[in-house]
Structure 1
Amino acid sequence: MEKSETELLLQGYGLTTAEMIYRMPDYKSVLNSFVWQDYDIAPDYPRLFKFIEFWQAEIEGPLHTVRFTHRKLLKAGEWRNVVGEFRLH
């Protein structure tokens, strides 16, 4: 069963965005770009490296450059459980 985004964020995951610059299989001098996003854990980035390994094994376009950034969107101390709710109107 896959976890919700909130559960992942509370466990320390953050949004990782990677841009893969790769060469076209038939035209080696032409570069193309692919953007990948997933929730991952810094500093090991297991999901990112698993995707890069998949790319190298299964996709014909060889990678030229991989640039990535990681942003932790929520910390455990920033989340609180709200029990009640007030409605107006």
Structure 2
Amino acid sequence: MADEIQKVFTAYGQLEADMVRLMLEAAGITVIQRRESAGTVYGLTVGPLGEVHLYVPSSQFEDAQQLIQAMQAGDLENLTSEDEWETGISDEETD
């Protein structure tokens, strides 16, 4: 039987939805997006027609929810240099 899906996030516009979707996918979480087609046609980003709903498999729901909560709380690091990606240590920490 296929894994059920659960809505984990509602974004207000495609840009916000893409940022959250890409963050979840980078963590290995499968994401399905759904939005009202009229919102896409008219490029709406406000109201119900601008909403983009993100769904994940039930088995990944808790991980996705924790990651989104950490993002909203500002607890995620933004590694910017190539060295930070490789070592996990910023240039400031090595001075």
Q: Normalised by the size of structure 1, how large is the TM-score?
A: 0.32
Higher RCO structure, 1 or 2 (CA under 8 Å, sep 6+): 1
Q: Normalised by the size of structure 2, how large is the TM-score?
A: 0.31
More strand by share: 1
